[in-house]
Amino acid sequence: MDLTTNHIYSDLRKTKEELVQRLDKECCSPLAKPYIEAELKDIETALKKIETGTFGTCEVSGELMPLELLQIIPTLKSIEDCKTVNYVISKH
């Protein structure tokens, strides 16, 4: 695992712990709970990809995704996700 991927992995693990703690607290809003659970699922998927060496590969085409976007949003799954993010970023 290279230094950048290692940093992303550490950040994802920390975020996962924070979200799990938020879910465990009784004060978690029932409205927010499904969003937190969905984010946790995406984080767990990204962590597994890092562990298996498939992180950064598009789930649809198998192409490599831009690392600079994965550093910002490590839960991106496809080139289409990257295009959407780039579109939103370019509009601001």
User: What is the tens place of the pLDDT at every residue in 15-66?
Assistant: 999 999 988 877 778 898 999 999 999 999 999 999 999 999 999 999 999 9
This prediction has a pTM of 0.87
- CATH architecture under which domain 3-91 falls: Up-down Bundle (1.20)
Domain spans in the chain, listed from the N-terminal domain onward: 3-91
Could you tell me how far CA 21 lies from the centroid of its own chain?
18
Rounded Cα distance between 61 and 37, Å, is: 27
More confident residue, 87 or 73: 73
